[in-house]
Amino acid sequence: MESNPKPGKVWLLVLVASLGYFVDIYDLIIFSIVRVQSFKDIGIPEGQMRSEGEFVLNMQMAGLLLGGIIWGVIADKFGRLKVLFGSIVLYSLANLYNGFVQDVNTYAWIRFVAGIGLAGELGAGITLVSESMDKGKRGYGTMIVAGLGVLGAILAYYVSEWFDWRTAYFVGGGMGLCLLLLRVGTFESGLFKKKDNQQAVKGSLWMLFNKKERFLRYVYCLCIGLPIWFVVGVLVTQAPEIGRALQSETPLSAGKGVMFTYLGISLGDVFAGLLAQWFRSRKKVVFICQVLIILFSVWYLSSTGISENKFLVLAFLLGLGVGYWATFVTISAEQFGTNLRATVATTAPNFVRGALIPSTLLYGWLVPNMGILHAAMAVTILLSIIAIFALTRLEESFDKDLNYMEE
């Protein structure tokens, strides 16, 4: 591979990474969208829908956490492209098989396998794009990857409306296998190729823990992403319960709310990328996003008598606030050397998803004492404050040269 790939090849790489993340997001949230329909079809009683749904979702989350580690190590040891091919094959086949399940245990284990596959897509894609583009322009690449990618959530919603749940899984698996044909034309990261010829420790998880400064750097990277999944997983997903507490005019739809939130996230990723290029700073953009999260969440959680239309507008605005997902992953990738970069970029987003568990536990503990509205407000503000503090501890990485190794 040439040391400086032609612009056409670089933008093909960005397109392929974007479409990969599009399919990844589709497959990541399709269970949440078709859960009720699919459970009814395989005979899950109404009274067990919530508990069995949590079981299946937790299995998928366990797969994401395990997969984040597996694919991150593979990407740093053997190459980013191997992850992009291996992960999409795994989650595509799992989603095709999901269309045939007849019982909840099989359903859960297949979502576990799908979760392992889904964990590799974003981190490897962002790392490959970041390492292949000019340091002053790589933000545009990662912006496009995330901006186009999260639109997969919109497609997932409409496919589930147009077709039955089994077809929705078949569509996800089929899209992934078709994307494999496009990936044949992509190339490996030049920085990885260069590093591959050097005698250095590659993809070692232990390196994240064996040096205090590096460990704290990793923890701070995780902390800046904490508010994202709490907003999506609680403020929007629990819209029916929050709506009742707000004495809403009509029951609020979590499905519609998630769709509008992801639309906001998609545009937010684009705006975050553009603002980062304008300010020449990713840290300033993440700070602005934290302020927006606090403002929009307080507005939402204090909207007594909220209408469905106002909820959907606020869900969209909350999506804009947490639309720094790609910026978060890019910052994480830029904080570490080439021999550890993909491990960080792949584990960080999945560990942040997993951090929703302690966040919801804290939220659940506060609800009986403070009520659902004040508890949600308190946890959201706390997570944003933690994110802002972590941001102050990280160096600005906008123009950082990524051609270096972790010792």
Q: Domain coordinates of the chain in residue numbers?
A: 7-393
Single-letter residue type at 42: I
Q: What's residue 65's pLDDT? A: 86
Report the distance separating Cα 205 and Cα 74, nearest Å: 11
Query: What distance in Å separates the CA atoms of residue 95 and residue 28, rounded to the nearest whole number?
Result: 10
Contact 220, 394 (CB under 8 A): yes
Report the C-alpha gap between 283 and 47 in whole angstroms.
Answer: 46
pLDDT digits (tens, 9 = 90+) for 25-63: 888 878 877 877 888 888 888 777 767 777 887 888 888
The tokens of 318 are what? 């909350």
Work out the average pLDDT over 222-238: 89
pLDDT of res. 207: 75
Q: In this predicted structure, what is the pLDDT of residue 385?
A: 96
Phi then psi for residue 63, to 5 deg, are -65, -40
At residue 390, the pLDDT reads 95
Q: Backbone phi, then psi, for 350, in 5-degree steps?
A: -75, -35
* Burial letters 265-297, b for 16+ CB under 10 A, else e: bbbbbbbbbebbbeeebbbbbbbbbbebbbebb
| 15: number of Cβ within 10 Å | 15
Identify the band that residue 1 occupies on the pLDDT scale cut at 50, 70 and 90. very low
Give the pLDDT score at 194.
54
d(CA 332, CA 219): 10
What's the pLDDT score for residue 42? 85
Distance CA 188, CA 232 (A): 34
Per the CB < 8 A criterion, the answer to whether 114 and 98 are in contact is yes
> Stretch 134-159: mean pLDDT, rounded?
77
- Classify domain 7-393 at the CATH class level: mainly alpha
> What's the whole-model pTM score?
0.78
Q: Give the mean model confidence (pLDDT) for residues 105-115.
A: 92
- What pLDDT is recorded for position 166? 92
